[in-house]
Amino acid sequence: MVAGEASSDMLAAHLIRAIRAHLPNARFYGIGGPKMQTEGFDAVWPSELLSVNGYTDAIGRYSSIASVRRKLLKDIRATRPNVFIGVDAPDFNLWLEGKVKSDGIPAIHFVSPSIWAWRGKRIKSIARSVTHMLCMFPFEMPLYERAGIPATYVGHPLADELPIEPNRLAARERLDLPADATIVALLPGSRQSEVSNLASCFIETAEVIAQRRPGTLFLAPLTTRETREIFSEALHSGRSSEDLPIRLLFGHSVDAMTAADVVLVASGTACLEAALLKRPMVICYRIGKWQFRLIKRMAYLPWVGLPNILLNELVVPELLQDDATPEAMADAIEKWLGDADACAALAERFTALHHELRRGTAEKAAKVILPYLRDVDEPS
């Protein structure tokens, strides 16, 4: 298995657990993160190795990443596993899947690349590389059916994991927060490069809101020690932020978003997580200017956030690149804070989306994979 970042680590961990329920003695190894390792995964390399943000980051690290990929392919060819499972990370995994598939090893890809958003011609390389595609969104299935690629809609595991009706007061109690406080959650991403790009802007946004709405509390859940240090350094780098009420959390992103009135979030899986927690949000993102121009030219959809893409409408604001200023983000957050009716209507739409995506993902995916484990005796 190869999983390249925090969200992939979570997906793969759930899948390992589901397969192990049928095959207790199965062995899983490759590239993975801490959640996978908790499920008994043998991480030959850590998932952080594959966490890149944009073309510049990818180009700068290409040599080291390509070297690891060649070493892993050599190991796969020597050990001949029953199946290879690539979890997201398409630029890394599709090449590897094509190689192992040509060697007669089934190649399963979990999480369809965003061919519906950009780089649609990639469907041709997917057809050559993938034995079976596991799709998390229903609108992806027709793309693979038309291309003749075996695919299964398995739903999204976050929809299984998160409650249909989140308990905001209970989350505030767990975090020792006032029940009646105005709270904004700040989620600048899971990758170090994302946090480096967004931390200062998020902090400046909090400063604007604190000036406009004294007493507002801010929560900043960070997924790793490295991202926490980056955010903490930005918080204390020559700013008058000592009195700014930002609490840094090590993890606890679900509790932070559940407890919050509004979430300021980097584009990515956390956007979907916020939607499933029925939280109003403001999505923002910043990458290199030329990268943004290139991606914008290649994009097919007018939105980048999953809530907007899934609902096929701009239901939550997106502030990207030069538009992602502290004042603009503060304005968008304040708009949610001042409109309870809009927040309630949004929660209804997110609840319907939650039911659509709740499909028992890990078990459905495991049942697709189990038939490929042909020489493993499954217990009765």
| Sheet containing strand 2-3, strands side by side | 42-46, 29-32, 2-3, 84-87, 107-110, 132-135, 151-153
- Cα torsion through 139, 140, 146, 147, rounded to 10: 170
Residues 6+ apart with CB under 8 A from 347: 278
Task: Give the whole-angstrom CA distance, residue 185 versus residue 204.
Answer: 14
Query: Average pLDDT of the chain?
Result: 88
* Mean pLDDT within 296-305: 62
Q: Is residue 17 part of a domain?
A: yes
Which pLDDT score, from 0 to 100, does residue 320 have? 87
The phi, psi pair for 368, rounded to 5°, reads: -70, -40
Distance CA 183, CA 213 (A): 11
Other residues' Cβ atoms within 10 Å of the Cβ of residue 365: 26
* 24 and 55 inside one domain: yes
Do both 87 and 185 map to the same domain?
no
Question: Is residue 295 over pLDDT 80?
Answer: no
Domain assignment present for residue 378? The answer is no
Please tell me the predicted confidence (pLDDT) of residue 242: 63
Domain interval for residue 329? 168-357
**Same-domain check for residues 74 and 137:** yes
Q: How many domains does the structure of the chain reveal? A: 2
pTM: 0.81
Same domain (yes/no): 103, 242: no
Q: Is the per-residue pLDDT at 53 higher than 60?
A: no
CATH number at 264 reads 3.40.50.2000
pLDDT score, position 149: 95
The answer on 145 and 248 residing in a single domain is no
**Has residue 356 got a pLDDT over 90?**
yes
User: For 167-221, how does the pLDDT look when each residue is reduced to its tens digit (9 = 90+)?
Assistant: 999 999 999 999 999 999 999 988 888 898 899 999 999 999 999 999 999 999 9
Question: Looking at the structure, do residues 128 and 13 belong to the same domain, yes or no?
Answer: yes
Please tell me the predicted confidence (pLDDT) of residue 350. Answer: 98
- If DSSP codes are grouped into helix, strand and coil, which group holds residue 29? strand
- Asked if 135 and 180 sit in the same domain, the reply is no
pLDDT tens across 258-275, in order? 999 999 999 788 999 999
SS3 label, residue 262: strand
Amino acid at 1: M
Question: Is 162 part of any domain?
Answer: no
Does one domain contain both 235 and 301? yes
pLDDT (0 to 100) of residue 49: 74
* CA dihedral sign, ordered 218, 224, 229, 231: negative
Residue 191 falls within a domain, yes or no?
yes
pLDDT of residue 251: 87
Is 47 a member of any domain? Answer: yes
CA distance 76 to 358: 34
* pLDDT band per the 50, 70, 90 thresholds, residue 321: confident
